Amino acid sequence: MKKKYFGTDGIRGKVGSLPITPEFFVKLGYAAGIVLSRRNKRGQKPSVVIGKDTRISGYMLESALEAGFSSAGVNVFLTGPIPTPAIAYLTRSRKADFGVIISASHNPYDDNGVKFFSSKGLKLSDEIECEIESLIDQKMEIVLSNKLGKAQRAENYVKQYIEFCENTFSRGLTLKGLTIVLDCANGATYHIAPTIFSALGANIIVVNDKPNGLNINKKAGSIHPKSLQSAVVSHNADMGIAFDGDGDRVIMVDQNGTLVDGDQLLYLIAQFYIKEGYKFGGVVGTHMTNLAFEERCKMQSIPFVRANVGDRYVSAELDRRNWLLGGEGSGHIIVKNLHTTGDGIISALQVLSFLVKNKRSLKDALEEIKLYPQILINIPTENKVNLKSRVVKDAIKESESIMKGMGRVLIRASGTQPLVRVMTEGPARAEVSKAAKLLTKTIEGLI
């Protein structure tokens, strides 16, 4: 069954336009609640944990989802603002049947969406998403009043997640002596990340930690790191750490203000596991993973494979191979022995464990992996573009020729935004840039 509403990462869109409306979210909650009840084998009323990021629309959509789940006979626990990976953890630890986060991740404030997690803290299968969709447009058959679900604010859930994160930092180590700038993107980590890094001993300077409902991701966080880079240099800090609006991504900045992306952070975590003697199998990247990362893995005899872009595909490939480490250059990093999904805070703590234990600076640790120049261009488009056309194929062939057969080209439609993404990569920046311009001009000519 082809999905109508669910994309590669839940449901997402502009607030006020279908499907991001209160009416739809009531029906979505009801449909998910019915599916949940059908699959509930525990013999007691099913439950769902619902969290949200800091968008102003989250209050409206939270109430709508709550009403939908309650009308289907599901008990609702509301956490308030909390990172996406916290919901994955709490759903599992609290033995809830579903977990839901209301968020549009790194998108602007006027977008919103929803992601679901199973009782095991995993993204839902295509089968369950299709089952939910099949009920959304049907008439709501509200359960009897004595069967309605109850809703309550979840006490101590945030505290439990904070303790969970802190316990992933290597025992016996401390961040004392390190000055770290944290950029919380005015999002879901604003009241959580500072608590964690302070408790572990770091001297922290926090920026973009005052959400007002309208400033999430606005010139802040992992996709807008310039303010973090400036803050690290001006405060003479040892490093900076930036999360995105819902806290599942992380990027870092070294003491010189140089950006460190997800590929580099994943590499450092792999080095940490090697030095500690952990058996992690291999590493899963994506088609966007820098070629230099793959070459370094070959040099160290670390098995490496590429999955489709999207953390759910990385996670599925890790499960299939029974490996532990995977991620994307965007900062979505999955450490399977610690969490079921990507978690920006936990990923950062693993990098810090490696640095502290080996008494290395972030800059020094990255000397052994020099990424190839990689250019990513996002081309807005409301219309579908035929990326398999002869024109596009010819442009790709010409671009590869420009890079003398030593680079990579990837063109794909975004699964979360109305964009076509063009990526070129290779050893020579001038050639990579020329190839990217050619491809961009070609795609724009087809729109």
Domains of the chain, by residue range, sit at: 11-157, 161-259, 260-343, 374-446
Judged by DSSP in three states, 358 sits in coil
CATH topology identical between 11-157 and 161-259: yes
pLDDT score of 121 more than 80: yes
CA distance 326 to 304: 9
The class level of CATH for 260-343 reads: alpha beta
Alpha carbons 225 and 141: distance in angstroms, whole number: 48
**Measuring CA to CA, which residue among 242, 240, 200 is closest to residue 220?**
242
CB-CB contact of 193 with 347 (8 Å):
no
Judged against a pLDDT cut of 90, whether residue 398 lies above it is answered with: yes
Annotated catalytic, 63? no
Average pLDDT score, the chain: 95
| In the predicted structure, residue 296 carries a pLDDT above the cut 80 | yes
Average pLDDT over residues 43-61: 95
Does the domain made of 374-446 have the CATH classification 3.30.310.50? yes
| Tokens read off for 281 | 């199998």
Catalytic residue among 47, 103, 105, 353: 105
The pLDDT assigned to 405 comes to 87
Is the per-residue pLDDT at 354 higher than 70?
yes
Give the tokens for residue 190: 């604003």
Q: Which CATH number fits domain 161-259: 3.40.120.10, 3.40.50.720, 3.40.630.30, 3.30.2020.30?
A: 3.40.120.10
Average pLDDT over residues 152-161: 96
Count other C-beta atoms under 10 Å from residue 3's C-beta: 12
Position 415 pLDDT exceeds 80: no
Share of the chain above pLDDT 70, in %: 100
Task: Please state, in angstroms and as integers, the Cα–Cα distance from residue 349 to each residue in 40, 165, 405, following that order.
Answer: 36, 8, 38
| pTM score | 0.91
Is residue 58 within 8 A of residue 52, CB to CB? The reply is yes
Judged by DSSP in three states, 64 sits in helix
Alpha-carbon separation of residue 178 from 167, 201, 355 (angstroms): 19, 8, 11
* Residue 355 CB partners (closer than 8 Å, separation 6+): 268, 361, 362, 365
| Phi, psi values for residue 117, rounded to 5° | -125, 145
What is the rounded CA–CA span in Å between residue 232 and residue 237?
5
CA-based Rg of the chain, rounded to a whole angstrom?
A: 22
pLDDT-based confidence at residue 446 (cuts at 50, 70, 90): confident
Phi-psi region of 289 (alpha: psi -120 to 50; beta: other; left: phi over 0): beta
- Given a cut of 70, whether residue 270 has pLDDT beyond it is yes
What pLDDT sits at residue 417? 78
- For residue 239, the cross-strand partners are 180
**Confidence (pLDDT) at 318:** 97
Please determine, for residue 41, whether its predicted confidence score (pLDDT) is greater than 80.
Answer: no
Q: How far apart are CA 248 and CA 267, in angstroms?
A: 18
Decide if 123 contacts 84 (C-beta within 8 A): no
Question: What percent of the chain is modeled with pLDDT above 90?
Answer: 89
pLDDT of residue 406: 87
The fold adopted by the segment(s) 11-157 is Alpha-D-Glucose-1,6-Bisphosphate; Chain A, domain 3 (3.40.120)
Q: Give residue-wise pLDDT tens across range 324-342.
A: 999 999 999 999 999 999 9
Mean pLDDT of 2-25: 94
Q: Are strands 259-260 and 151-153 parallel, antiparallel or unpaired?
A: unpaired
Q: What is the pLDDT of residue 418?
A: 84
Q: What is residue 1's predicted lDDT score, i.e. its pLDDT?
A: 66
pLDDT tens, residue by residue, 431-444:
999 999 999 999 99
**Average pLDDT in the 176-188 region?**
98
Query: In 3D, which of 301, 309, 249, 252 has the Cα closest to residue 284?
Result: 309
